[in-house]
Amino acid sequence: MAPTKTQAIAGQNITLAIGKRYLATRPMGGKPGQRYVLSIVEHHTCHHSVNAPPVVQLEPMGYDEANNFLTAFNNGKTSFEGRVWQ
């Protein structure tokens, strides 16, 4: 089993395996006032026609909070590169 590390990102403590690439995602669309469950997946498992199984799921967040977390975790507002956990 790979060693893990816990980091705080946008106020959320996340524990993941060191050296793997991850991407934070949420369901698209939504309605005003909706809350979103964010998932963190291993990036290489992401494919446009398959829902990758989450490694971590976060508690539901409001729209702005969810978007702030996605921006912080994925290293940019429109980044789909995710991050290598170090």
Q: Phi, psi (5° rounding) for residue 7?
A: -135, 150
User: Which pLDDT tens digit goes with each residue over 15-65?
Assistant: 999 999 999 998 887 777 899 999 999 887 555 545 678 999 999 999 889
pLDDT in the model for residue 35:
94
pLDDT in the model for residue 38:
94
- Whether the Cβ atoms of residue 36 and residue 25 lie closer than 8 Å to each other: no
Confirm whether pTM is higher than 0.85.
Answer: no
pLDDT in the model for residue 82:
83
